[in-house]
Amino acid sequence: MPVRRGHVAPQNTFLGVIIRKFEGQNKKFIIANARVQNCAIIYCNDGFCEMTGFSRPDVMQKPCTCDFLHGQFTSRHAVAQVAQALLGSEERKVEITYHRKDGSNFLCATHIIPVKNEEGVVMMFILNFDYILDEGSSDSLERLNHTSPSKYSTINKIPLITLNFSEANNDKKCPSPPSSEKTIIAPKVKDRTHNVTDKVTQVLSLGADVLPEYKLQTPRMDKWTILHYSPFKAVWDWLILLLVIYTAIFTPYSAAFLLNDIEEQRRRECGYSCSPLNVVDLIVDIMFIVDILINFRTTYVNTNEEVVSHPAKIAIHYFKGWFLIDMVAAIPFDLLIFGSGSDETTTLIGLLKTARLLRLVRVARKLDRYSEYGAAVLMLLMCIFALIAHWLACIWYAIGNVEKPYLEHKIGWLDNLGVSIGKKYNYSDPSSGPSIKDKYVTALYFTFSSLTSVGFGNVSPNTNSEKIFSICVMLIGSLMYASIFGNVSAIIQRLYSGTARYHLQMLRVKEFIRFHQIPNPLRQRLEEYFQHAWTYTNGIDMNMVLKGFPECLQADICLHLNKNLLQGCKAFRGATKGCLRALAMRFKTTHAPPGDTLVHSGDVLTALYFVSRGSIEILKDDVVVAILGKNDIFGEMIHLYAKPGKSCADVRALSYCDLQTIQREDILEVLDMYPEFADHFFTNLELTFDLRDENAKVSYKE
């Protein structure tokens, strides 16, 4: 599978940052669209709902002057100040008495904050509400109260915001809600900068450099941050892969064959740079250290499919992951102990240099990218087999080399090799005996023949140590032979099944794009959605899998899949088990990518939509009128109309969304079968946004 890129499309991150920053601070705020009449509320958080007693469906689309909170103790002067701040697009703090839904009153400080786009035009208002204990006190009740989970929770459910407030459609304003006495339209003011002031960020507990501009922008990244899918990172990873392969091959070879007494004496005399191989090792160590620094600046994809680019979060993620292994593998041990005159230096260098093999763990964690390609898997298995044979050959030589001086009878395999090729060892001459090439080739020949269980006997173990090692090699060989070569056909079949399906579907998508000449931006959206959907479902049609089971089992599965909706939505509480099973069978899950339009203006409303993950925006004439998140419902009140109506707005996904839908005919059919539940359902069904266009005339041919 390709590298996960995460959510990398240009996005407006303003609301996402605001909502995440308010989390955990027990803030109570609403967000209003300044470009529509009466500055209608398009978002309210949990704290505001708890403070006022109103639900989100009650608050949405009301004017941000909060007329519905006014009562007998509400000061007209304070109301006028709020209206004046909205009309003049001014930042202002007003103390005002509001009334809850149950009639009780409370004193709070209302902070009106205008938010402008890059052109200096006010696009939104943020109204922050703080309790006031008594007159003249600025302490907030947040310190006395503890937050509690709410059914209206949508915090952190808007990771990707792509709001588009069209300036060309400012004449087409949405009708004013009937509860408003005067029409408020924020003027276009450009007398201030479009950045939020330091005072505002202080009130919102934000840093002055945290609150972004309200505009379409790519995610902000530090100057030296590297994208994990960038061309540079891809080239660098391949370079590190080559260095790791070099390390895996030459480190055991150097430790076993090259670090002998003559080599060590020569290095002491002429310096560290005497051997070109040591210079290469030094360069490799430097590259590994640079790779650690690069990993500290490389983005990653978190569990929410978001690209994390904050340096501190990247560092914490790396420290918790592969930093320790990378650090140990990058330490140049031979440099640290260079110059020591002890006799154990050679052995110590050889042992410590093998710590570089820890880098192979980094390679192993990335092998799953290529696990779908059968040819790559075969090549990989062959390389692993050869690499293990190479390591065992180095160990085989090290055993013979260590035992050789202490053998009373020269029966070791090195002595036998010297006799067979006419290069006997003369122990008074250290340079006598077979060459390094002869010894390595013979050792590799022995390990390959032992691993494949094809021993010819011309190179045989004679000492006890050699025989014990040979037994271990045979055990390893039998295990590798059975697990790799004996199952090659099964591995290819298993790997090719998923790969073939993926490439076949991808080929169809590309052929569709080529045939219809889809433009590049739309083509990229198609390909990214396909890759995300494949990752999400692994190319499996869940509905087809479900249909393969008996109907009674399907009902139980559907009841489990829709458990959170049926238990969490107030409208479904009190239904019998049979009613819930019938409803669950008729729910369908829809997955939508960012920017996908779920309902167009003028479409016939044939279903009810329940948002189970992600966030969506509702637009009238390209003006955002509502933002919906988890547990919100939109559609129409089906029991009030004999025929389905038409949508008055567009519904567009802001992030990757999961929606559960049920057709109008299906729900009416179930309620007809369970009439005792129908009244309860229609009484408790609360639409967060009613899409029905009351002005449209619906006509159908019977």
How would DSSP label each residue in 165-220?
Answer: --GGGTTSPPPPPTT-SS--------SS-SSPPHHHHHHTT--TTTSPPSS-BPPP
Residue 19 token pair: 């909502």
Q: 155-181 burial by CB neighbour count: b if 16+ within 10 A, else e? A: bebbbbbbbebeeeebeebbebeeebe
- Residue 68 contacts by C-beta under 8 Å, 6 or more apart in sequence? 54, 58, 59, 62, 179
Which residues are bridge partners to 130 per DSSP? 109
Name all domains of the chain by residue range, CATH numbers in brackets.
Answer: 11-129 (3.30.450.20), 220-371 (no CATH), 372-499 (1.10.287.70), 551-695 (2.60.120.10)
Q: Are strands 41-44 and 28-33 parallel, antiparallel or unpaired?
A: antiparallel
CB-CB contact of 63 with 52 (8 Å): no
Length of the chain: 702
Following DSSP, what letter does each residue of 427-486 receive, concatenated? TT-TT-SS-HHHHHHHHHHHHHHHHTT---SSS---SHHHHHHHHHHHHHHHHHHHHTGG
CB-CB contact of 67 with 179 (8 Å): yes
Hey, how many other C-beta atoms are within 10 angstroms of the C-beta on 22?
A: 21
Q: How far is it, in rounded angstroms, from Cα 85 to Cα 107?
A: 19
Q: Hey, what amino acid is at 214?
A: Y
Which candidate, 524, 583, 528, places its Cα nearest to that of 555? 583
Q: How far is it, in rounded angstroms, from Cα 68 to Cα 77?
A: 17
Quote the Cα angle for 158-161-164, to 5°. Answer: 145
Q: Hey, what amino acid is at 296?
A: F
Q: How far is it, in rounded angstroms, from Cα 642 to Cα 648?
A: 18
Q: How confident is the model at residue 338, as a pLDDT?
A: 54
Quote the Cα angle for 233-238-240, to 5°. Answer: 90
Which residues are bridge partners to 590 per DSSP? 659
Q: How confident is the model at residue 144, as a pLDDT?
A: 38
CA quadruple 61, 62, 65, 70: dihedral, nearest 10: -160
For residue 362, is it left (φ>0), alpha (ψ between -120 and 50) or beta? alpha
Look at the block and give the residue holding tokens 């960038």: 230
Q: How confident is the model at residue 212, as a pLDDT?
A: 45
Q: How far is it, in rounded angstroms, from Cα 325 to Cα 359?
A: 7
3-class DSSP state for residue 380? Answer: helix
Q: How far is it, in rounded angstroms, from Cα 192 to Cα 58?
A: 34
Q: What are phi and psi of 91, to 5 degrees?
A: -85, 125
Q: What is the mean pLDDT of each run of 10 residues along the chain (702 residues)?
A: 53 61 73 86 88 89 90 90 89 92 91 84 88 56 40 35 38 39 45 43 44 50 80 86 85 75 55 66 85 89 80 90 83 64 56 71 67 67 87 90 80 86 79 84 90 77 90 88 71 71 87 90 81 75 78 86 88 89 89 85 92 89 88 89 90 88 92 90 89 70 41
Which residues are bridge partners to 43 per DSSP? 31
- With residue 652 as reference, give the H or E element that holds it: strand 650-653
- With residue 362 as reference, give the H or E element that holds it: helix 359-365
Residue 190 token pair: 């450009």
Q: How far is it, in rounded angstroms, from Cα 123 to Cα 167?
A: 10
Q: How confident is the model at residue 371, as a pLDDT?
A: 59
Which candidate, 508, 654, 457, 584, places its Cα nearest to that of 576? 584
Q: 477-487 burial by CB neighbour count: b if 16+ within 10 A, else e? A: beebeeeeeee
Q: How confident is the model at residue 156, as a pLDDT?
A: 35
Q: How far is it, in rounded angstroms, from Cα 500 to Cα 494?
A: 10
Cα–chain center distance at 64: 35
Which candidate, 59, 46, 111, places its Cα nearest to that of 85? 111
- With residue 529 as reference, give the H or E element that holds it: helix 520-537
Which candidate, 101, 124, 106, 321, places its Cα nearest to that of 211? 124
Helices marked H in 569-642 — which ranges?
577-586
- Residue 537 contacts by C-beta under 8 Å, 6 or more apart in sequence? none
Residue 214 token pair: 């309200």
3-class DSSP state for residue 607? Answer: strand
